[in-house]
Chains A and B, each alone.
Chain A
Amino acid sequence: NAGVTQTPKFQVLKTGQSMTLQCAQDMNHEYMSWYRQDPGMGLRLIHYSVGAGITDQGEVPNGYNVSRSTTEDFPLRLLSAAPSQTSVYFCASSPRALAGYNEQFFGPGTRLTVL
């Protein structure tokens, strides 16, 4: 049981490039989400999904796209990278959607630098 996995661990992009951050979970969790962590800002929600085929925006969705074609995978796409997207990105999953008491399980993170 690998839990929540993220690839890559580190990435450097040039402004304007696009890329996809991968996230997968093997726990059959309904709910998956993406956060970004910036110094002094805590974690902020980018997008989330309550099940396959269903996604919604979080607090800071601009510049990012997501899709959820399977229960296991929840990739995050940067359409045209900007220096403001330099951050550490965390994917998380939770057993049930719309159940606030559930623990969220976090991946190890992807450290992204945009030059």
Chain B
Amino acid sequence: GDSVTQMEGPVTLSEEAFLTINCTYTATGYPSLFWYVQYPGEGLQLLLKATKADDKGSNKGFEATYRKETTSFHLEKGSVQVSDSAVYFCALSGSNSGYALNFGKGTSLLVTP
């Protein structure tokens, strides 16, 4: 079945450092790919998405490119801020699972001043 694998955390970075969180997926067909973010004590909210190969999703300085050849959707940000501290979830949605979201286990990010 469909699955998502993302790098384990926690990830600790200094403010203004470069961020990469790796995400790879297994799916048949052409799933849509998402990054969700969960701030402490809150629900998940969509950070960015890409619905077809080579699409780049971007939001709030974060970017991720849908790479079908490497089945990856890595999250990047050039300069992180303390306010980016959160848990980040990679997810996919495809026909195999009735278009429900299939989540990775999440990566906790802590940005220190």
Which residues of A approach B to under 8 Å, CB–CB? 4, 31, 33, 35, 40-45, 48, 50, 56, 58, 90, 92, 97-104, 106-109
**Which of B43, B94, B95, B105 has the most A CB atoms < 10 Å from its CB?**
B43
Residues on the B chain within 8 Å of A107, using CB: 43
Q: How many Å lie between the Cα of A50 and that of B106 in the bound state?
A: 26
B42-59: contact bitstring with A at CB < 8 Å (1 yes, 0 no)? 111110010100000000
Whether the pair B94, A100 counts as a contact (CB closer than 8 A) is: yes
The answer, among B42, B89, B105, for a CB contact under 8 Å with A108, is: B42
Q: How far is the CB of A62 from chain B (nearest CB, A)?
A: 17
Q: How many Å lie between the Cα of A102 and that of B43 in the bound state?
A: 17
Whether the pair B103, A106 counts as a contact (CB closer than 8 A) is: no
Whether the pair A99, B43 counts as a contact (CB closer than 8 A) is: no
Residues on the B chain within 8 Å of A42, using CB: 89, 103-106
Q: How far is the CB of B61 from chain A (nearest CB, A)?
A: 19
Q: A40-B105, A43-B89 are in contact. Are A48 and B98 (CB under 8 A)?
A: yes
Q: How many Å lie between the Cα of A44 and that of B91 in the bound state?
A: 11
The answer, among A40, A43, A97, A98, for a CB contact under 8 Å with B101, is: A43
Whether the pair A106, B105 counts as a contact (CB closer than 8 A) is: no
Whether the pair A100, B105 counts as a contact (CB closer than 8 A) is: no
Residues on the A chain within 8 Å of B105, using CB: 40-42
**Which of B51, B93, B98, B104 has the most A CB atoms < 10 Å from its CB?**
B98
Q: Closest chain B residue to A6 by CB distance?
A: B43
Whether the pair B106, A56 counts as a contact (CB closer than 8 A) is: no
Name the interface residues of B73-113: CB closer than 8 Å to any CB of A.
Answer: 89, 93-95, 97-106
